[in-house]
Structure 1
Amino acid sequence: MVVGCSAGGLQALHVLLGGLSGPLPVPMVVVCHSGSEDMRLFCELLAGRSGQTVVEAEERQQPRPGTVYVAPSGYHLLLERDGRFALSVDPRVSFSRPSIDVLFESAAGVWREHLLAVLLTGANSDGAEGCLRVRGQGGTVIVQDPHTAQVPVMPAAALELAGADHCLPLPGIPKLLETLCS
């Protein structure tokens, strides 16, 4: 599973992770445009509030079920064909590095119809192209209802370009994820 967010993302991730009854049986890989240089504190905040295992993703790491991986600051996070993480300093995409599009597109190529992609609040269109690719590969896209997002630009852009398999307010997304992952 991949998750993307930007402005308002930390609060949205608190609601998302805190709404889960426990760890999911799949890895969760997150790109959040946090503006932070050090994602360790970001991971600690999410873990402390949610009770989930939240770690910063590392080069060549194999994602494991039940763990939340957060993209490190300043690097694109990709999933390679062998299912391991790769970090890249390629140019910014949609003014962002890490880019949600880069993660979603690489994950779609690996996990195809088994991929769940979640796009939450944010202030730019990063993630819209990635959602289109996920749906094109047979994966499932869940978009936060823009009317309930702290900043609606990102989810609205995704809905306009790619549509969604599910569009609902943030508090309903954790239960949907548990249902889809069971």
Structure 2
Amino acid sequence: MSLRAVVIGASAGGVQALSQLLPGLSAGFPVPVMVVVHVPPRKANALVDLFAQKCRLPVKEAEDKEPLVPGTIYFAPPDYHLLVETERTLALSSDETVNHSRPAIDVLFETAADAFGPGLVGIVLTGANHDGARGLKAVCEAGGTALVQDPATAEVATMPEAALAACSAARAMKLDEIERSLEAMVRS
């Protein structure tokens, strides 16, 4: 099954990890990339501006009911869960926190697994809680590919370790290996 979408979750240390991963994606990367980073609820989202300057792909804050566009990086807005609907549009929700987080990685991963099935790659990066573990398991169960930042290279290993424990099919990789793996998947 060919790659149709990428979802990425990060928490503590995530900006640094994403700063290594996202700028490496080629300008012609042909699938949408959706990102959840645990950010404080009442802060302006500086992530979009930061990554727009670093990345070769367009970067934007996700909007409710927005259709996914290939080759675009979408960040979840502060204090909203980011979901993928089955018709491959984005949705925002202010439902209860999950794993003490809104946006929560599990919410994005589980809904994207339903929408994209085996065409999805889920990536869990550095972080200090277990958010993303259940979602990555859902990606695997839907036939998708699960990649996890090698806990030994993560600023905080808790989230990658939890993801690897929850999803036995997940592969632990260094950030540059994840980026090369994504590029190889879109070429194949």
Q: TM-score, normalised by structure 1?
A: 0.95
Instruction: Give the conservation status (yes or no) of the 8 Å contact 2:26–2:56.
Output: no
3-state DSSP class of the match of 1:171?
helix
Q: Hey, what does 1:67 align to over in structure 2? A: 72
Instruction: Give the conservation status (yes or no) of the 8 Å contact 2:126–2:155.
Output: yes
Instruction: Give the conservation status (yes or no) of the 8 Å contact 1:134–1:140.
Output: yes
Q: Hey, what does 2:3 align to over in structure 1? A: none
Q: Does 1:180 align with 2:171?
A: no
Listed one character per residue, the Cα deviations across residues 12-32 of structure 1 (whole Å, up to 9, x for unaligned) are 111001222334110000000
1:118-137 equivalences in 2 (<5 Å): 118-137=123-142
Between the aligned residues of both structures, percent identity stands at 46
C-alpha separation between the residues in 2 aligned to 1:57 and 1:120?
20
Q: Hey, what does 1:162 align to over in structure 2? A: 167
Q: Does 1:76 align with 2:78?
A: no
Q: Hey, what does 1:94 align to over in structure 2? A: 99
Q: TM-score, normalised by structure 2?
A: 0.93
Q: CA deviation at 1:172?
A: 1.5
| Aligned-pair Cα RMSD in Å | 1.1
C-alpha separation between the residues in 1 aligned to 2:19 and 2:169?
22
- Equivalent residue for 2:44, pick from 25, 33, 38: 38
C-alpha separation between the residues in 2 aligned to 1:102 and 1:5?
13
Q: Hey, what does 1:50 align to over in structure 2? A: 55
Q: Does 1:117 align with 2:95?
A: no
Aligned residues: 181
Q: Counterpart of 1:18 in structure 2: which amino acid?
A: P
C-alpha separation between the residues in 1 aligned to 2:157 and 2:28?
28
Moved over 6 A (4+): none
Instruction: Give the conservation status (yes or no) of the 8 Å contact 2:26–2:57.
Output: no
Question: Any gaps of 5 or more consecutive residues in structure 1?
Answer: none
